[in-house]
Amino acid sequence: MPNQLLTMLVLLTFSSALVYWYTLGMPGRSHAGPLPSLKEDEREMAATLRSHVEAIASRPHNTNFPEELEESARSIENVLASLGYTPRAQKFVAAGVEVRNIEVVIEPESAGTMALEDASTLVIGAHYDSAGDAPGANDNGSGVAALLELARLLKSHAMIKTRLRIVFFVNEEPPLQDRHNG
């Protein structure tokens, strides 16, 4: 009986170590040395992403800072409009401040034999508010920048059978993560 218990304990320890290694181990090798130089289009995209993050997330912007939150929303709407989209606002009041989700819809080029209203829908979203007194560049700013760049890229690559809803949500951050979030 003690040998069986010892064997079970060894197997359990080995299995736990294997599961730990498998779930937390990174495949391949870490990069060493300098990064490769960016190509011209990659430098342009990096500059565009940086400008979006700076426009959205240079200052705290949430219902405690309503003017800054409004400025972030207008910045998103202006970029979308400059890309040829017509942004739609879903307005509501949270913490006594009128806020809005911002959405653009890219309809499918062709639904084939199915009716356009029956096309499947893919929602891609990011939130544009910040938490507390933080400017929110690492979470919402980077997500919004990536989504704006995706909207730019998708402008010339419409999906054939899928409707895309690109949505910029407000109030994802505390304390408005309950019934007041976007």
In-domain check, residue 110: yes
Paired residues of 101 in beta bridges:
90
- Give pLDDT, residue 110: 64
Contact between residue 135 and residue 71 where contact means Cβ atoms under 8 Å apart: no
CA 85 – CA 132 distance, rounded (Å): 31
In-domain check, residue 111: yes
- Give pLDDT, residue 44: 94
- Give pLDDT, residue 125: 93
In-domain check, residue 8: no
| Closest C-alpha among 90, 91, 168 to residue 125 | 168
In-domain check, residue 141: yes
Contact between residue 143 and residue 126 where contact means Cβ atoms under 8 Å apart: yes
Contact between residue 125 and residue 181 where contact means Cβ atoms under 8 Å apart: no
In Å, the largest CA–CA distance within the chain is: 76
In-domain check, residue 98: yes
Q: Where are the alpha helices (DSSP H) in the chain?
A: 2-24, 40-56, 66-82, 142-155
Q: What is the pLDDT of residues 5-29, one digit of tens each?
A: 888 888 888 888 888 877 777 777 8
In-domain check, residue 97: yes
Six-digit token string for 90: 């879903």
Q: Which segments in the chain show pLDDT lower than 70?
A: 1, 110-116, 158-159, 173-182
- Give pLDDT, residue 177: 54
In-domain check, residue 74: yes
> Rounded to 5 degrees, what are φ and ψ at 18?
-65, -45
| Closest C-alpha among 25, 24, 163, 48 to residue 107 | 163
Q: What is the pLDDT of residues 103-129, one digit of tens each?
A: 999 888 765 555 667 788 889 999 999
The pTM score is 0.75
- Give pLDDT, residue 181: 57
Counted residue by residue, the chain has a size of: 182
| Closest C-alpha among 93, 109, 86 to residue 161 | 109
Cα atoms found within 13 Å of the Cα of residue 89, Cβ hemisphere only: 13
CATH number of residue 126's parent domain: 3.40.630.10
- Per the structure, the count of domains in the chain is 1
- Give pLDDT, residue 3: 79
In-domain check, residue 69: yes
Which class for 43: exposed (0-12), middle (13-18), buried (19 or more C-beta within 10 A)?
exposed
Domain residues for the domain of 150 are: 40-169
